[in-house]
Amino acid sequence: MSKKIEGKVALVTGSGRGIGRAVALKLAGEGARVVVNDLDKDVAYAVVDEIRAAGGQATACEGSVTAPDFSERFIKTAVDTYQGIDIIVNNAGYTWDNVIQKMTDEQWYAMMDCHLTAPFRVLRAAQPVIRALSRAEAAEGREVFRKIVNISSVAGTGGNAGQANYSTAKAGIIGLTKTLSKEWGRLKVNVNCVAYGIITTRLTEATTVASTVKIEGRDIKVGVSPEILDIVKAGIPLGRPGTDVEAAGAVYLFCIPESDYVSGQVLVCGGGLNGV
């Protein structure tokens, strides 16, 4: 059976764990050559090894998406290794919550930098490469579509108490998506967005013990109390949070040829949950 994205070059930020890892594995399993990224070098290369062990192709570009030099390195890795760019998934992210009166400037800008500025920089760095490829293909009389999938959240579409920073950044990525769908249509680029509901990852798993992870040198709280998670589950029409594999499936829909005439759209992947 032929694979729908055979030979395509896919770049996925934050793909060492969780949803990003599932996206990288899904795209690789469908024939894409993947550039894996994660803050943790060992985790990034573990995913590369997993893809290669399954017969796929992958390379790594480790480091923080918020670093000033990251976007150029990321794009250069794809071009130097695979001579092109076909798919970009801006997935990297985390939450750092507080009510607005207690939220610091550091918390605010951390979410803006990760969820909005970093994708902007990646796409800005990719534009000259995509433009050159598109022009060459047009000169040959070929119509080749490329895919950008930005990741938002139902917190970005409807807001969420305690997440003024995260919700604002995730609303902003929708604006970036819709703008680039207009700017890049002439380049045959489909720019779309997936807004997640509750997806089970290390950030959202049920826990009764206070737990943190180290992100950008900060101790970030992870996990959700079972009581709160039960309340959230009750509002999900399908009755449960989604899995990382299901989350990856939503991204995949925007990467295949069947979506070549779909652009500027926001797909909510939330089991029927449209707000939190």
What are the catalytic residues? 166
**Whether 23 contacts 251, CB under 8 Å:** yes
3-state secondary structure (DSSP) of residue 227:
helix
Q: Measuring CA to CA, which residue among 212, 95, 94 is closest to residue 163?
A: 95
Nearest to 163 by CA among 200, 213, 205, 203: 203
Question: What whole-number distance in Å separates Cα of residue 5 and Cα of residue 145?
Answer: 11
- Beta bridge partner(s), residue 212: 221
Place of tokens 């005439």: 261
Residues 6+ apart with CB under 8 A from 82: 9, 33, 35, 57, 59
